[in-house]
Amino acid sequence: MSFVRFKWIFILLLFCIVMIPFKNSAQSKFHEEIFVVEQDTLPYNILKPLDYLYSLRESQEKIFETKTYPLILFLHGAGERGNDNKKQIIHIKDLFLDSSNLANYQAFVIAPQCPAGKKWVEVDWSAQSHKMPENASWAIENTMKLIDGMIQIYPIDTSRIYITGLSMGGYGAWDMIARYPEKFAAAIPICGGGDESMAYRIKNIPVWAFHGNNDKVVPVSRTRNMIKSVRQLGGNSKYTEYKGVGHGSWVKAYRENGLLNWLFEQ
């Protein structure tokens, strides 16, 4: 066999080796972006579906597909606030970057970062109850603008916009589905709380909530009361309470068997 022929066979094999795993891993990661909001900015991370990335690679240009994908909004906790545009995804990376989940539950995932000193919902987290503020917080208002911007750019199925959040983000998730019930198809709030008097607005939204019964930061009664209020109105809600678990109930929740399967069924 001539050297030239061997060289081209080697190049072809190398090309195949590189391309085969591309669809499964090459761009399967969160990317840091900045959303400009008038005079302010909202940092966020975005994860794009594998099929969407692969189709872009195939065409080498932006294409307008007939296929659409769900959009999952994640709201982080108080400890991940700031403007580094990195730490807000530390608790969801394992869930959404798992190779099986990447392949089987393809969606756009966005994780905005709430600025230091602000909250998704400007209420006392340790209180036994609160009334939903009349106006959305700066962070929630501009997150909604970010979602609307995503819908304009990407092939998103607007009937399958999901939300999940933990701790401070759990409050945010309860607030957003009550404030914008027409926007969300399902919610997974973790160790947060909402305004029970607003339960009538979310009774038709599938909810799977989580809390640890030994939570010393956010009273477990916050989730219990929300679920009770929704169920009394005939709402479609699930609740998992972890015995002996403290505030970090999101660790078990995001490893819950069937979590994404339940979400994508909604």
For residue 166, count CB atoms less than 10 angstroms from its CB and return exposed for 0-12, middle for 13-18, buried for 19 or more: buried
Average pLDDT over residues 128-135: 96
**Is residue 196 scored above 60 in pLDDT?**
yes
| pLDDT tens digits along 76-130 | 999 999 999 999 999 999 999 999 999 999 999 999 999 999 999 999 988 999 9
Confidence of residue 163 (pLDDT cuts 50, 70, 90): very high
Asked whether the beta carbons of 162 and 266 are under 8 A apart, the reply is: yes
Confidence of residue 143 (pLDDT cuts 50, 70, 90): very high
Confidence of residue 27 (pLDDT cuts 50, 70, 90): low
Confidence of residue 54 (pLDDT cuts 50, 70, 90): low
Asked whether the beta carbons of 77 and 190 are under 8 A apart, the reply is: no
**Is residue 5 scored above 50 in pLDDT?**
no
The pTM for the full model equals 0.87
Sequence letter at residue 162: Y
| pLDDT tens digits along 170-183 | 999 999 999 999 99
**Count of Cβ atoms closer than 10 Å to residue 15 Cβ:** 10
**Is residue 24 scored above 80 in pLDDT?**
no
**Is residue 44 scored above 90 in pLDDT?**
yes
Write the DSSP symbol of residue 198.
Answer: G
Please, what's the largest Cα pairwise distance for the chain? 80
More confident residue, 40 or 264: 264
More confident residue, 66 or 139: 139
pLDDT value of position 67: 87
DSSP string, 112-131: E-PPTT--SS-S-TTSS--P
Take residue 182 and report the two structure tokens written for it.
Answer: 């027409």
- Please state which CATH class domain 32-265 belongs to: alpha beta
DSSP string, 148-181: HHHHHHS-EEEEEEEEEEETHHHHHHHHHHHH-T
pLDDT value of position 69: 96
Give me the sign of the Cα torsion angle 133, 135, 137, 139.
positive
pLDDT value of position 65: 55
pLDDT value of position 57: 55
Distances (CA, A) of 13 to 5, 7, 26, 79, 200: 12, 10, 18, 47, 60
pLDDT value of position 37: 77
More confident residue, 60 or 202: 202
User: Where do the domains of the chain lie?
Assistant: 32-265
The pair phi, psi for residue 92, each rounded to 5°, is -120, -5
What's the chain's length in residues? 266
> Which H or E run includes 3?
helix 3-19
The CA-CA-CA angle for residues 37, 42, 46, to 5°, reads 120
Give me the sign of the Cα torsion angle 242, 245, 247, 252.
negative
